[in-house]
Amino acid sequence: MNQGKIAIIGAGIGGLTAGALLAKRGYEVTVYEQAAIAGGCASTFKRKGFTFDVGATQVAGLEEGGIHQRIFQELGVDLPEATVCDPACAVFLPGETEPINVWRDTDKWKAERLKQFPKSEKFWNLLRVLFAASWKFQGRDPVVPPRNAWDIWQLVKAFRLDTFVTVPFTLMTVLDALKLCDTANDQRLKTFLDLQLKLYSQVDTAETALLYGATALAVSQTPQGLFHLQGSMQALSDRLIEALEKHGGKLLTRHRIKEIDLSQDQPQLTIFDQRRGEISQVTFDHVVANTTVQDLIKLVENPPQSFAAKTYQNRIHNLAQPSGAFVVYLGVKAAAIPENCPPHLQFLYDYDQEIGENNSLFVSVSKPNDGRAPTGHATIVASSFVDPEPWFGEGYAARKEKYTQEAIAKLNRYFDLSPENIVVQEAGTPRTFAFYTAREKGFVGGVGQRISTFAPFGLATRTPFKNVWLVGDSVHPGEGTAGVSYSALTAVRQIEQCT
């Protein structure tokens, strides 16, 4: 039975998940994607036999009971083939040649912490308690933040006695927890945490909400874990497309949404078919935007003049600017990779005045026979967060070349990146991401998980625009394929409730 007509804007993981679930639950679903390939920030590209993950390079939530496992089970499609990342990451601090290994095994990770940060176990024990309660709470599918009575009831149903242990820590940052546990003066620990949290929450210990930080810093350990997909990250979106089409949904690539008109009872989309050069207007019962929140409010035409809508738009305008990313993609001979190289590494370098914020790199390395590189070769994807603004001004080509050479020089301290070992070399910038993903200024990672933008104080899937929903990394519970899939499930449940 046709439950209603749904448009999904954007075929990132959040949009595809929402589309597939809605199609499975009886809705007429069309997913519109402006690019030629689905996946958004978790898509791929190919060069000379190498396959490169564009942005996201690891997946959480594939374990039994994990969000992807639950969703794929409902959709009736198999999970993509994957291996566990162990260690999840090897972190190199400035001037150090031995890494801090973030092991999946809880006992090994505890031993590593005690060795690396001898007086920090009180802090890690606090995080363990908060994570356990928060993870159980999230697993009961609360609607956070709630925006009407039904949302509030879903939130209340998710509470248990153990949930209340988190309440006193709701307004604390990770730095507050370090102070509480008498470890704030351990600069080496703080540096490690800053590096890890920047990767997951966009901000450091001083700003990251403690309850978010507790989850981000513990999700790598069993029974959870981070996973490396066989083939590429595209395997995840390919399975979701399979599920979407299996249940009668449609994916239209090279279709850009120009605006969402809210002047009628139902939202109307202006759609530009880039292949045919044609523009059409189509009305839907509901629209699900898998966009940044900044892009959503730019799409909305004739917004309601209610207090809620005006407050929402003002809040978005006043958000701290998200990060951009600079990424180096290298296809190399296997000789460039050290023996027993972990799949993910982080390097923090001394501050470089010349290139400013580009002083750390998160690196993903392919595994032999994982489908990303020809035999005897490997891929290296190295990214750093950058201020997006300078990339849209003058001197773009020179800036891109400088960042590329600086990144390769730094990587060469660990890898053997002599010219004869490099087969493919490309770079991505905020301008690149803006072009291929249609995200304003190439923003990545959503809004920073500060106290003011996390959980009860964050942005909701239910927007103040009637029958317009937001999924992706701008809303709870944040970035990553698992996070955006949670947001998709929430929006689907809300749409079901009101149709």
Say which residue, 178 or 303, is predicted with more confidence.
178
pLDDT tens for residues 47-89? 999 999 998 889 999 999 999 999 999 999 999 999 999 999 9
pLDDT at 49: 96
Range 446-474 average pLDDT: 95
80 in Cβ contact with 236 (< 8 Å): yes
290 in Cβ contact with 29 (< 8 Å): no
Range 129-156 average pLDDT: 96
pLDDT tens for residues 250-270? 999 999 999 999 999 999 999
228 in Cβ contact with 370 (< 8 Å): yes
pTM of the model: 0.95
Task: Return all residues near 241 (Cβ < 8 A) that are at least 6 apart.
Answer: 11, 16, 38, 251
Range 312-325 average pLDDT: 93
pLDDT at 350: 65
Tokens of 138: 């999230």
Helices (H), 140-233: 149-158, 174-180, 187-201, 210-216
Range 353-363 average pLDDT: 65
pLDDT at 358: 40
200 in Cβ contact with 346 (< 8 Å): no
For the chain, what percent of residues have pLDDT higher than 90? 92
For the chain, what percent of residues have pLDDT higher than 70? 98
Cross-sheet strand order for the sheet of 5-9: 250-253, 28-33, 5-9, 286-289, 468-470
Inform me whether the pLDDT recorded for 456 exceeds 80.
Answer: yes
Peptide bond preceding 477 in cis form (omega within 30 of 0): yes
Mean pLDDT of the chain: 94
H or E stretch at 232: none
Q: How far is Cα 495 from Cα 418, in angstroms, rounded to an integer?
A: 54
| β-bridge pairing 422-428 and 59-60 | unpaired
Q: How far is Cα 204 from Cα 105, in angstroms, rounded to an integer?
A: 25
What are the start-end ranges of the E strands in 190-267? Answer: 226-229, 250-253, 255-261
Q: How confident is the model at residue 349 (pLDDT cuts 50, 70, 90)?
A: confident
Q: Mapping DSSP to helix (H, G, I), strand (E, B) and coil, where does residue 236 land?
A: helix
Range 368-379 average pLDDT: 96
Inform me whether the pLDDT recorded for 2 exceeds 80.
Answer: no
pLDDT at 1: 56
Instruction: Count the Cβ atoms, other than its own, within 10 Å of residue 254.
Output: 15
19 in Cβ contact with 31 (< 8 Å): yes
302 in Cβ contact with 263 (< 8 Å): yes
Name the least confident of 114-118, 139-143, 257-261, 305-309.
305-309
pLDDT at 233: 94
Instruction: Count the Cβ atoms, other than its own, within 10 Å of residue 465.
Output: 25
Query: How many residues are present in the chain?
Result: 499
CA neighbor of 476 nearest in space, from 13, 45, 120, 144: 144
Inform me whether the pLDDT recorded for 244 exceeds 50.
Answer: yes
Q: How far is Cα 209 from Cα 169, in angstroms, rounded to an integer?
A: 9
364 in Cβ contact with 347 (< 8 Å): no
Q: How far is Cα 151 from Cα 132, in angstroms, rounded to an integer?
A: 23
Domains and CATH numbers, the chain: 5-42+233-320+445-497 (3.50.50.60), 105-221 (no CATH), 324-440 (no CATH)
H or E stretch at 403: helix 396-411
pLDDT tens for residues 153-163? 999 999 999 99
Three-state SS across 62-99?
CCCCCHHHHHHHHHCCCCCCEEECCCCEEEECCCCCCC
* Amino acid identity at 267: P
Range 369-384 average pLDDT: 96
Task: Return all residues near 7 (Cβ < 8 A) that are at least 6 apart.
Answer: 30, 32, 267, 269, 282, 284, 286, 287, 288
